[in-house]
Amino acid sequence: MVRQLTAVVLCAALITGGCASSGGTRVAQDPQAPAVDRALLADYVQKIPAGSKVRIERTAGGSLRGTLLRSTADNVTLQRNTRVPEPPVEVPFSTITRLTLDTGTSTGKTVAIAVGAGVGATFGILFLLAALLGD
């Protein structure tokens, strides 16, 4: 009886567990944009080679991801990463709070995460079967 109860509790925990990326903002966002030195940001962006993948965070919220085409003293020209081709977007430095290189996730890391999840699920199912059929 104890094994069956344990198996039922573990099954319920696996089914209703939820996921860490279930959406929604978890940390309250500060409505004020942080102070950014525009000259320093412009100097930094002009040193990034054209063709680099970048992520731009805006003062109004939200972000843009794409390929850096050109940067001037006043704005950044970006080709967005979209399924349907779009014209390049010019983003003024006055609306940028942060610009970072977008490195993405490596294939090896993705494969390792998938293998780990598969192994964990397999052992979980085997444990449940052993608990149910162990009587």
Dihedrals phi, psi of 110, to nearest 5 degrees: -65, -45
Distances (CA, A) of 10 to 13, 50, 114, 131, 135: 5, 52, 22, 10, 17
pLDDT of residue 30: 54
- Read off the pTM: 0.54
pLDDT at 20 over 60: no
pLDDT at 88 over 90: yes
pLDDT tens digits, residue range 105-129?
A: 778 888 899 999 999 999 998 888 8
Banded pLDDT at 19 (limits 50, 70, 90) = low
CA 57, distance to chain mean position in Å, is: 13
- Output the average pLDDT for the chain: 82
Sequence-distant (6+) residues with CB within 8 A of 6 are 131
H/E stretch holding 58 reads strand 53-58
Structural contact between residues 77 and 69, judged by C-beta atoms closer than 8 angstroms? yes
CA 64, distance to chain mean position in Å, is: 13
In the chain, where the domains are located: 33-102
pLDDT of residue 15: 75
- The yes or no reply on domain 33-102 and CATH 2.30.30.100 is yes
